[in-house]
Amino acid sequence: MAEHEAIIERMRDSILEADDDEAVAAAEAALAAGMDPLAALEAGFSEPIRELGEAFNRLEIFLPQLVLSARTMQAGLKVLERALTTAAREAARKGVVVIGTVEGDIHDIGKTIVVAMLRSAGYEVHDLGTDVPLPQFINVAEQTHADIIGMSALLSTTMLRQRDLLELLQLKGIRDKYFVIVGGAPATQAWADSIGANAFARDAHEAVLCLNARARNVTSRA
């Protein structure tokens, strides 16, 4: 048992220190020691990254620490995922998010922060980058069996693409498959309501809260 605790400690430290190699090594050690991958994931990776996310939100740590640690978690997660049963994988994932900045808009930073915070909160995130054509959101969402689509727009002109994607989803008859969240400087709750998005978030922290609230609803309905 002491060995297991020591491994969890190594995993935690690898996240806090953003040491990718150590995260991989510790995850491999966990599997070699016959630990339950789901439990190891939760205690060794998810918990510390959540703590970092909360610390960032309290203005206690710097953004690059969070971004780097979220990347470390991805590296360690890959090792554990191999060992997860399909059922365990389902249980582990809080949601799969496909996210990007819409067509015609190259503002990158806000979306990148949202991505880091969502990853730190345990979401599987596919970041499509900037200037993303609307069909690409849908194609990738379908391919990755995503449940959430996130669109960032920083211009009052490109904000209209958020509406267009919702219309496109309607047209294809797949609107109900996705929880759609929108954000960016010109967007507001009223705008999100008027285009029929599921959620609007003012900042990255709020985006996590919105999606967590959704996850709770989904679980309680199931």
Max Cα distance, the chain (Å): 58
Among the listed residues 6, 17, 39, 62, the single contact to other proteins using CB under 8 A: 62
Beta bridge partners of 152: 101, 183
**What is the Cα–Cα distance from 203 to 222, expressed in whole angstroms?**
29
* Residue 101 three-state SS: strand
Report which of 177, 121, 130, 120 is spatially closest to residue 149, judged by C-alpha positions: 177
Rule CB under 6 A: is residue 207 a binding residue for ligand B1M? Answer: yes
In angstroms, what is the minimal distance from the CB of 211 to other proteins?
Answer: 18
Contact indicator for 212, 121 with CB cutoff of 8 Å: yes
* Residue 150 three-state SS: strand
Beta bridge partners of 99: 127, 150
**Residues 20-59, mask of contacts with other proteins (x by CB under 8 A):** ------------------------------------x--x
Minimum CB distance to ligand B1M smaller for 25 or for 160 = 160
The residues in 107-166 that bind ligand B1M, with binding defined as CB under 6 A, are 107-111, 113-114, 150-152, 154-156
Q: Which chain residues interact with ligand B1M by CB under 6 A?
A: 99, 104-111, 113-114, 150-152, 154-156, 181-186, 201, 203-204, 207
Q: Which chain residues interact with other proteins by CB under 8 A?
A: 56, 59-64, 104, 106, 108-109, 113, 155-157, 160, 185-186, 204
